[in-house]
Structure 1
Amino acid sequence: MKLTVVGCSGSFPSKGSACSSYLVEADGFRLLLDMGNGALGELQRHVGLYDLDAIFLSHLHADHCIDMCAYFVVRYYPHGGDRPRPLPVYGPEGTEQRLTAAHGDTPSDRAMGEVFDFHTLKPGSFEIGPFSVRTEKLCHPVDTFGIRVEHGGSSLAYSGDTGTCEALEDLARDVDLFLCEASFVDGKEDIPDLHLNGREAGEAAARAGAHRLVLTHIPPWTDADRNAADARAAYPGPVELAVPGAVYEL
């Protein structure tokens, strides 16, 4: 199983990174986790426009899903061939309606459903292609799901956006790689059920027994090195900052 960081900036794109988007591959199957601002352009550095097999949207804030509107155009108006089959998209309740409203000028109210096969997320376990996945509802102002992906004895967990909660640690239990948000700075922002800081991400990884921690979703105005240092003080395993183009073989 291979993980590629497509974009990792939190809240809005930085000068060096698109917003949240992560490509997971195994056995020729490509699963994209989130498609935030700027992700579609960066994605083309790694795969072709029509090479995705499924998309998981953790929640419906723009920095995690808004480039789905541009991707709708790609799939609805294909150049040089027939329209591809509807692509499975796993997202919270109301994903189709949210994307239709965000696009604002689809040919019909049903147009999104003509190119995307929407599946409503609920907590539980199921299969996406060759992957065994488990989703849990996490702590954020809108419906938000974290995901654990397993294949061939390897595993990764992705937090999406969340505050501290037991469900996050359950997803990351003994995971090979924990891709965890760290948007806030310890001692500076203290808003419950919204985001984690570096220390909280490290503590969650430590309690879960994760084997490796990769911090992501750090906004451009946040000191990423400070968050990494705070995570290392709370977690004894390896800590890295996500960077666009980074590849992890699991």
Structure 2
Amino acid sequence: MKLTILGCSGSVPVPGNAASGYLVSFPDATSIIVDMGPGTLAQLQKYQDPVNAHVLFSHLHADHCLDFPSLLVWRRYHPYAPARERNFCFAPSYAPTHLGRLSSDDVDGVDDMADTFIFSPWEHGKPEKLGEVLITPYRAFHPVETYALRFEDPRSGKVIAYSGDTAFTTDLIPAVKHADYFLCEAAWGQSSDGKPGGMHMSGGEAGRLARLAEVKTLVLTHLQPWGDAEATVAAARAEFAGEIILARPDMQLEFR
């Protein structure tokens, strides 16, 4: 199991860094795209045929899903390499309507993705199996229906945890517990003081959650481009004594 960061810019894409999107790949199974913010489809093409993947969404804010309609175009209409079979799409419950409106030809229409994806809604705490990996969603603390995701490879025992977008909450400790890599948003930068509640974490809060969940490596992601990345990392390090990595586009994390 390998994690490739397609894009990690918080809230908006910037030159050289797409918005949120990640690729979980395997040597002998179909890969998994996790979130598809603006710019991620172009990044994905560096690593594989875009149609050979399942798609998961933590939530459906624009910076996490707007490249999905373009993926549908590729899967359906590519002149010589369209999708040959349906893949799975797991997402919040209203995804068929929300995503369908983004790709419909009619102003009030809803495009049906059933021709190319098999959709299933997340259910808090219910594991889903894709290939050999188990993925368990946990409700996060964000203004829309949002899930943190836990990826477990039963063969190796390795775990990747992804916070999605969320404010700090100890309810997510089970999602993150003992993760080898914890991919955690830190959009509020060094501190969440003075920021809107119920939305995002700061570097210090990401570090605190990593410490409480006893993760091995904390990967800070979804930093907004106008923030101070070094101060965010320093705030996380004040809370968490383990390894801390600042996410970068095209970064690949493999298990040692």
TM-score in terms of structure 1 length: 0.95
Aligned counterpart, 2:140? 138
Report which stretch shifted further, 111-120 or 66-75.
111-120
- Aligned-pair CA distance for 1:189: 4.1
What's the CA shift string for 1:81-127, capped at 9, x where partnerless? 56522221000011011011122417x74532211211111112121
Task: For 1:213 and 1:189, locate their aligned partners in 2 and report how far apart those are by CA, in whole Å.
Answer: 25
Distance change (3 Å), C-alpha of 1:101 and 1:187: closer
- Aligned-pair CA distance for 1:51: 2.1
The one of 179, 200, 210 equivalent to 2:215 is 210
Aligned counterpart, 2:202? 197
Task: For 2:94 and 2:87, locate their aligned partners in 1 and report how far apart those are by CA, in whole Å.
Answer: 17
Mapped pair 1:230 → 2:235: yes
5+ residue gaps in structure 2?
none
Whether the aligned pair in 2 keeps the contact of 1:29 and 1:130 (CA below 8 Å) is no
Task: For 2:81 and 2:38, locate their aligned partners in 1 and report how far apart those are by CA, in whole Å.
Answer: 27
The one of 158, 162, 165 equivalent to 1:161 is 165
* Count of equivalent residues: 249
TM-score in terms of structure 2 length: 0.92
Distance change (3 Å), C-alpha of 1:82 and 1:164: closer
Whichever residue aligns with residue 97 of structure 1, its letter is T
Aligned counterpart, 1:120? 121
- Aligned-pair CA distance for 1:132: 1.2
Task: For 1:83 and 1:233, locate their aligned partners in 2 and report how far apart those are by CA, in whole Å.
Answer: 47
Whichever residue aligns with residue 2 of structure 2, its letter is K
Aligned counterpart, 1:57? 57
The one of 180, 184, 188 equivalent to 1:184 is 188
Mapped pair 1:85 → 2:90: no
Task: For 1:249 and 1:202, locate their aligned partners in 2 and report how far apart those are by CA, in whole Å.
Answer: 21
SS at match of 1:75: helix
The one of 217, 225, 243 equivalent to 1:220 is 225
5+ residue gaps in structure 1?
none
Task: For 1:14 and 1:197, locate their aligned partners in 2 and report how far apart those are by CA, in whole Å.
Answer: 20
Mapped pair 1:173 → 2:177: yes
Task: For 1:81 and 1:246, locate their aligned partners in 2 and report how far apart those are by CA, in whole Å.
Answer: 27
What's the CA shift string for 1:62-89, capped at 9, x where partnerless? 1111100111111121311565222210
Whether the aligned pair in 1 keeps the contact of 2:75 and 2:82 (CA below 8 Å) is no
What's the CA shift string for 1:126-173, capped at 9, x where partnerless? 211110111101100000001000112111100010001123221111
What's the CA shift string for 1:192-248, capped at 9, x where partnerless? 210000000000000000000000001111111111110011100011110011111
Whether the aligned pair in 1 keeps the contact of 2:19 and 2:63 (CA below 8 Å) is yes
Task: For 1:75 and 1:29, locate their aligned partners in 2 and report how far apart those are by CA, in whole Å.
Answer: 15
Task: For 1:23 and 1:60, locate their aligned partners in 2 and report how far apart those are by CA, in whole Å.
Answer: 17
The one of 230, 245, 249 equivalent to 2:250 is 245
Aligned counterpart, 1:74? 74
What's the CA shift string for 1:15-62, capped at 9, x where partnerless? 22001111111233201111111100011011112221x111000101
Whichever residue aligns with residue 43 of structure 1, its letter is L
Task: For 1:57 and 1:110, locate their aligned partners in 2 and report how far apart those are by CA, in whole Å.
Answer: 18
Whether the aligned pair in 2 keeps the contact of 1:148 and 1:157 (CA below 8 Å) is yes
Whether the aligned pair in 1 keeps the contact of 2:104 and 2:110 (CA below 8 Å) is no
SS at match of 1:201: helix
SS at match of 1:178: strand
Task: For 2:148 and 2:192, locate their aligned partners in 1 and report how far apart those are by CA, in whole Å.
Answer: 25
